[in-house]
A and B are shown apart, each in its own frame.
Chain A
């Protein structure tokens, strides 16, 4: 049916698995960025009027999620000289298992939801739920502050996918949602960078926080 959308959502799912399965923080960040860019492309793929605002929104989201935040994270990682390997509280394999289980349930659950006709049979709801779950898993099971940010990003991506369900019904709402999204993303970023600062109390982070302001 909506094949390109499904393909994008499959890639989103793969990014989830990669984030949970990789031991490298850099891969984690990149996967989250990749996921963000993919998602910002999604509104363009949805059938409907191609308003210029949608395009601008998509571009903005792609830049912020795909370039700005990740590059900040990478810079933060480099500056504070933390280890490049993810240290999980819960092992990689168990968290992957949990994610698989959750995705399975999400697929099962989405089959039972009273969705609009054009969303039945697509991956939208499972992908949204699965991404949310992955975000939570990263937040819960990983130790470092940077992975926490990645967790928030993924979580927020999941919410974004949910928003897409409403794109036909209320296009304006979605745009606002995207805006809100970005706002929340940057807000969270600020909070978490503060945490990083407290954790490491390194002057470089202060510089970074200044940049943010």
Chain B
């Protein structure tokens, strides 16, 4: 055990982190002289901030368990003191943020230059400013010690990411995406405001300790109502189905390293919020959490996982596909969180299982940040070299961008939950937790949990299909357009950002036991039980086990390390077998196309690849398809056939379009009443004021 680091060092680190992000934000001044300098300085500052954040979080996680680090901030408002407080959970999320932020900061400068070399200095400065504000707000949100800091950071995070989403405005699309994002995000924020202020009202103070004390006196109904308000707010941000419609539009619109941050990290901040509210602020003083909480989260998670991956399958826009996969992965995380909520604070076996579930969820948080970040960065490399996001127009990039291809493949294997990479590890833990939960409950609840596990298996299989498509169509085959044909490898600094995340994927996959050690503090703090490594790696860090030593039930152990070694040895053996046996030289020939000379038109497209699954799941997709034939003279000779196919999100058509129609109708009615004269409006204001006063008076 390392000796606990001095709090003073941690404080210094925190201040350093703050000042770095602050300095990064201020570098926009440099843009007056040189846009290039501003970009470089801003990203260097972000990198420094991220490294400082990494240091602080590791310090807390590896140091004294259970210690909460608090740091009062200078007084900004007369009515509340702002403060930071960092416990295991905050530190863990800070770690996730910092790890991806390092990659984004390495990747960003070259990307911004390569992607939009003609962008004005003002825009570049705005991007640098927003990036640093975004990172700073996310980092401090996780360390917030009171409601006000939390909400300020939350709002700062939203605004900064909005700026980044609309900053790359080539067509109206991004502006519309940003608009939708803004509306949805603020709808969610409004719910959070209500939840928080209902608590602060009771507590008479803003800091979390007071809120916790105030929540202790709540009755069950209010407690549950507040939880669902907060869940609604956080779920909007996390992109949980059916609140996800903004996500696949907004995430791809931002510059790619920001997409990586939004998908890999910003969604996790919402998960942090859910955990903080459910297990800490709103949790009853004694006894288990209300069952409705956990089951709701479990069902929402399962739905998100399946729906997210099903829609991802039908996307042709590479970044949009990745964004839909974020919906899926948030679902997987929420499955773990929900299960932990259902099981926690029961008897010993339940607590151990809850620890297992929460470990799975938190580990998946980190894993998803790593591989989704990697994939977005890879998509960004493709985008900045080809300026095309539609994978039907790509193809053949493997020969032109080998590094990007290899790293994207790594991410694809990881996200498809295939061994030996990290995605498999957290899904394996989730499976074990679900199985344990099913055995624990028996009856209908157990069956529901097992079905959730089956859905998780379906999700994994579909994700593999989706990435076979996305990767194969984008990188393999022949280039379909000249954009793809003239692509070259991305600059070294961008590759460096990807290598960092790729290495994380490998390390987290091959030796997950060490990462589990970082989860001790958060799991122990949230569940009042044994830490993660006491449950998951009791047989040493190289073995993952789901055996619950406390109760003697369940005994499954796997070792990713041994398996990886075996895989490597077998691959070497197979390579030798293949090499050693054949003495004949290799020669090249065109691909077999039944004797015709092959062109890129022979290659399978993404639409074609996903067609069988589109038909199998037609009940959900309700695909629209229009085929028009132009005939030349006789109806038997078609001169041209137009095909148009589309899959629209059911949530969008069934829920949002109806809401939209309702609002439009309402505004039409209001418009009939509006005369356009200022006097009338002032009259309305007076009337409203009068009614408000009346209500206030009656309320007293």
Contacts and interface: CB of A to CB of B under 8 A. Distances in A.
Interface of A: 104, 108
A108 B447 CA distance: 10
Contacts of B443: 108
Contacts of A108: 443-444
Contacts of B444: 108
Nearest to A111: B443
A131 B548 CA distance: 40
3 contacts: A104-B447, A108-B443, A108-B444
A108 to B, nearest CB: 6
A121 to B, nearest CB: 14
A104 B447 CA distance: 9
A201 to B, nearest CB: 37
A104 B443 CA distance: 10
A104 B448 CA distance: 11
Nearest to B451: A104
A138 B447 CA distance: 26
Nearest to B443: A108
Interface in B435-462: 443-444, 447
Nearest to A105: B444
B306 to A, nearest CB: 15
A104 B444 CA distance: 9
Nearest to A108: B444
A56 B332 CA distance: 58
A160 B466 CA distance: 48
A167 B447 CA distance: 32
Of the four ranges (under 10, 10 to 19, 20 to 34, 35 or more), the interface on chain B belongs to: under 10
Interface in B347-392: none
B536 to A, nearest CB: 32
A38 B443 CA distance: 30
B484 to A, nearest CB: 39
A108 B443 CA distance: 8
A86 B447 CA distance: 32
Contacts of B447: 104
A68 to B, nearest CB: 40
B368 to A, nearest CB: 31
Nearest to A104: B447
Of all A-B residue pairs in the complex, the 3 with the closest CB atoms, nearest first, are A108-B444, A104-B447, A108-B443
A108 B444 CA distance: 8
Nearest to B616: A93
Interface string B267-304: 00000000000000000000000000000000000000
Contacts of A104: 447
A143 B336 CA distance: 45
B598 to A, nearest CB: 38
A124 to B, nearest CB: 20
Nearest to A107: B447
A15 B444 CA distance: 25
B498 to A, nearest CB: 41
A51 B503 CA distance: 75
A138 B443 CA distance: 29
Nearest to A94: B619
A29 to B, nearest CB: 28
Nearest to B444: A108
A102 to B, nearest CB: 14
A23 to B, nearest CB: 16
Nearest to B447: A104
A162 to B, nearest CB: 24
B491 to A, nearest CB: 50
A108 B446 CA distance: 12
A99 to B, nearest CB: 16
A110 to B, nearest CB: 13
A104 B454 CA distance: 16
B689 to A, nearest CB: 56
B455 to A, nearest CB: 14
Nearest to A91: B619
A145 B197 CA distance: 66
A188 B444 CA distance: 38
A100 to B, nearest CB: 10
B679 to A, nearest CB: 61
A66 B443 CA distance: 37
B450 to A, nearest CB: 11
A26 B487 CA distance: 58
B159 to A, nearest CB: 46
A164 to B, nearest CB: 26
A112 to B, nearest CB: 11
A91 to B, nearest CB: 8
Interface in B468-524: none
A206 B113 CA distance: 86
Interface in B390-449: 443-444, 447
A104 B445 CA distance: 12
Interface string B569-593: 0000000000000000000000000
A181 to B, nearest CB: 33
A153 to B, nearest CB: 30
A111 to B, nearest CB: 8
B479 to A, nearest CB: 39
A103 to B, nearest CB: 12
A105 to B, nearest CB: 9
Interface in B219-263: none
B620 to A, nearest CB: 12
B616 to A, nearest CB: 9
A28 B55 CA distance: 68
B515 to A, nearest CB: 38
A8 B290 CA distance: 43
A129 to B, nearest CB: 16
A69 to B, nearest CB: 35
